[in-house]
Amino acid sequence: MNQSKFIFRFLQLNVSKSFSVLFALLIVLFSNAYSANPKIKSLQVYSNENQTEFPIVSIGDNASGRITIEFDVESQFNPDLSMYFRLCDKDWNPINNPFLLNRGNERVDFLILERLPPLITGAQYHYKETFPNEKVNFPFSGKWKFFVVDVYDESKIFASGGFIVTENLLDINIKVDSEIRSDKNYFPTDLAKSLIINSSFSIPIDLYPQNLIGIEIIENSKLYSSYFVDKNIKNSNSEFYWNGNRDFNFIAKGITPGNEYRQANLNQYTSYSLKEVYAYRDRIETSRFFKFSERDNNGATLLSDYKDINSDYLNVKFSIRPPQPFSNDIYLVGSFNQWKIDDEFLLDDDDGLYTIRIPLKRGVYDYQYVVKSGNSFDWNILEGNFLETSNRYHVLVYYNDTSYGGYQKIIGYSTIILNSNHGKK
């Protein structure tokens, strides 16, 4: 082989190898990019296109309303996502009974995501849809959950949320009284302040009284931290009465009204002009046990239009110093995490200063601090407990429906908003 041919062959082999290596690297890079788990952010579930509305829809003759689900997605590439819906029991456990899976109308594949404005950091895509629609419906009343998953692998659950579906078969009469409890020693004594919620109704003639389960009371947006009055359990916090015919009366006691929520208004651009900010303008928060706060949004998140170029994400630091040293864990809960007590939102203790930093989109958020006390959680010790607090209470009536193998059906719903005088609003 002459010298020119040798040089040409050498270059050909090396160029071929280079392209092979480059192609392999591109495959690895793109595979990693597509396989990376997208992050779901700013998840909201609400009714009637109103971010402050409780997520509930009705079915049957009194059908009304729809729920809206929306969220941002942080992902380098447009991910392939699905969302499926499951009927749950009263404790939010999905029911796997095949007769209740609503096959054919229980999922949406390949969610249509809209690109966010290019200047927004922290997320690249947005999803928004209302249900029920032509693809999804909810034929059974009860608690429902949705799951955002990978199209090709449903074991990859990226986010989930809940909402209520009810059949309004009852007229529920709700009365609220207040009391200072004396069943044990309360310290501080303000913790003895509580509400009594009395719910009475008559069931229709085609329902069986013995199948009535009880009532649930949900405060504001706390779907996962509610009060339940079971007709088969009577204790210091609950009572049940039945006239032997069709009239029922459930009484829930010991409901502490708490305080108005703390609030971070990230739409105030003068106070929150940087990417790294404190939730509280004075940076370090303290106990509000003896300080009644201003009105809140009853636990809702209020986000600006996702198409707004200023609807960006900030790194928000929450810091609180309790009035005296203690060894209990403190959790941050709020509208940004569906009011769930989650280890992801456990504050770090640095010599009595408890802090956590989370990414939040510009908007208005209700939140508070919860203290773990033994095996329970104290929602009031750092926040206060005032009978003047304005809260919204949702009352759900549960009935054991024996059809389709049996499930816990919601046959009635009513709500009451208390102002400072404990009156309907």
Q: 39-166 has which CATH code?
A: 2.60.40
Rg from Cα positions in the chain = 26
Fold (CATH) for 262-378:
Immunoglobulin-like (2.60.40)
Domain boundaries, the chain: 39-166, 173-258+387-417, 262-378
pLDDT at 420: 56
pLDDT at 3: 47
- Distance CA(28)–CA(390), nearest Å, equals 55
pTM listed for this prediction:
0.89
- Distance CA(359)–CA(122), nearest Å, equals 8
Q: Mean pLDDT across the stretch 398-405?
A: 96
pLDDT at 382: 96
Taking Cα atoms as reference points, which of 365, 368, 337 lies closest to residue 267? Answer: 365
For residue 62, name the pLDDT band (cuts at 50, 70, 90).
Answer: confident
Q: Mean pLDDT across the stretch 7-17?
A: 46
pLDDT at 327: 83
Share of the chain above pLDDT 90, in %: 80
Least confident of 194-203, 267-276, 310-319: 267-276
For residue 314, name the pLDDT band (cuts at 50, 70, 90).
Answer: very high
Share of the chain above pLDDT 70, in %: 90
pLDDT at 303: 95
pLDDT of residue 425 exceeding 60, the answer is no
> Could you read off the pLDDT of 215-231 as tens digits, one per residue?
999 999 999 999 999 99
- Distance CA(49)–CA(46), nearest Å, equals 7
Residue that is written with structure tokens 């088969």 in the block: 232
pLDDT of residue 64 exceeding 90, the answer is no
* Triad 249, 255, 256: Cα angle to 5°: 160
- Distance CA(66)–CA(55), nearest Å, equals 8
Beta strands in 75-209 (DSSP E): 81-88, 107-108, 114-115, 125-131, 142-150, 153-167, 173-180, 193-202
- Distance CA(203)–CA(247), nearest Å, equals 7
pLDDT at 414: 97
Q: Mean pLDDT across the stretch 167-195?
A: 93
> Could you read off the pLDDT of 109-143 as tens digits, one per residue?
999 999 999 989 999 999 999 999 999 999 999 99
118: left (phi over 0), alpha (psi -120 to 50) or beta: alpha
262-378 shares the fold of 173-258+387-417? yes
pLDDT at 100: 97
How many Å is the maximal CA-CA distance in the chain? 110
Sheet holding 353-361, edge to edge: 276-278, 313-320, 353-361, 348-350
Tokens of 389: 């607090």
What is the pLDDT of the chain when averaged over all its residues? 90
pLDDT of residue 21 exceeding 60, the answer is no
pLDDT at 131: 96
Q: Mean pLDDT across the stretch 344-353?
A: 95
For residue 6, name the pLDDT band (cuts at 50, 70, 90).
Answer: very low
Taking Cα atoms as reference points, which of 72, 22, 80 lies closest to residue 44? Answer: 72
pLDDT of residue 182 exceeding 90, the answer is no
Say if CB 153 and CB 79 are below 8 A apart: no
CATH class given for the domain over 173-258+387-417 = mainly beta
